[in-house]
Structure 1
Amino acid sequence: MHYRPHEFAKIAGVTVRTLQRWDISGKLIADRTLGNHRVYSQKHINQLKGLLSDDIKRSVVVYCRVSSEAQRPDLENQVKAMDTFCNASGLKIDQVIKEVGGGMNFKRKKFLNLLFRMLSGQVSMIIVAHKDRLCRFA
């Protein structure tokens, strides 16, 4: 199956202009049609996976949160449970983030730092005990 540049850009999570730059620089060379149009295939997807994994060391992060200081013992229980889960699942944990703060407070420093790291591609997976541990809404 062949992908046109805008289709492949969606798969890759980059812009068409980035694909053009990669083609020019030789980082990811596209195949050409008889009309000299760029097309991409499964081999380009595999090559792209290699490019992304080589560029950035992406980490697995466990995020544990409780709402108040009175629940701090529960925080340690969350960490132990997540460690057990990850070991049973064969996941290697790179970092454990523990935070005390409300789920509706979107100004938690560790939470914001984790989001920025995830958006920049430094974090491959965030593991939480319950879906509301990250935030209550959104």
Structure 2
Amino acid sequence: MYRIGEFAQRIGRSASTVRRWEREGRITIARTASGQRYFTDADVRKMLHPGFDELTRKTIVYCRVSSPGQKDDLASQVTAMEEFCRGRGLAVDEWVREIGGGMNLKRKKFLALMDAIERGEVGTLVIAHKDRLARFGFEYLEYVAEKNGCTILIANQESLSPQEEMVQDLLAIVHTFSCRLYGLRKYEKTLKGELTGGGR
């Protein structure tokens, strides 16, 4: 919920302009029991995207595996999610299948999905498990989704989160930090050499 000043800032207008629009009947403003004006993200979207209809928000299922060799796992994940959605009575508008590591937050389809969420186009995002979306930082992604009116529905099927992917991601972390430590040691050695040489 935003107060009038926050709302005005988000849509690039002044608070006085918003008040004038209210007087002219161009916008309808909700009020609390005490009479305080307030706005929501839906109000922001309506102003920034006049043709946007909240009822047209999509339900999207996102399925992911880490490597091309896991195509069978991806197919199984899709099948399981189809059953899950049927059981929940969810009408799915779009299925997104992606092959890419869970630690890579620059995956093409993942970024396109997050952009759509931030534009307010997605009402429900369905995933098998938290790490299908990202190995780390899920809470932040969920925060971004909720802020833009999107609910992330998690089937929580651990069987659809291959253990070998976790091992690969952990090895990637170890490798990254090993390289950084090696770089620090090399830098420290060079620095000591320069200090020693400079003191002669």
Name the residue aligned to 2:74. 75
Name the residue aligned to 1:55. 53
The alignment status of 1:104 with 2:108, answered yes or no, reads no
Give the unaligned 5+ runs of structure 1.
1-7, 32-37
Looking at structure 2, the residues matched to 116 and 91 of structure 1 have their Cα atoms a distance apart, in angstroms, of 22
- Paired amino acid for 2:2: A
Looking at structure 2, the residues matched to 15 and 55 of structure 1 have their Cα atoms a distance apart, in angstroms, of 22
The alignment status of 1:16 with 2:7, answered yes or no, reads yes
Q: CA deviation at 1:28?
A: 1.1
Higher Cα Rg, which structure = 2
Q: How does 1:1-138 map to 2 (within 5 A)?
A: 8-9=1-2, 15-17=6-8, 20=18, 23=22, 26-29=26-29, 39-40=36-37, 55-56=53-54, 57-138=56-137
TM-score (norm 2): 0.50
The two structures, once aligned, show a CA RMSD in angstroms of 3.1
Q: CA deviation at 1:9?
A: 1.6
Deviations 1:2-51 (A, max 9, x none): xxxxxx427xxx933158266255221456xxxxxx6348xx98xx6xx7
Aligned residues: 116
CA contact (8 A) 1:23 1:29 kept: yes
Identity in percent? 42
Deviations 1:96-129 (A, max 9, x none): 0000000001111000000000011001111100
Pick the structure with more helix per residue. 2
Which protein has greater RCO, CA pairs closer than 8 Å, 6+ apart? 1
- Paired amino acid for 2:95: V
CA contact (8 A) 1:23 1:30 kept: no
- Paired amino acid for 2:7: V
Looking at structure 1, the residues matched to 72 and 117 of structure 2 have their Cα atoms a distance apart, in angstroms, of 28
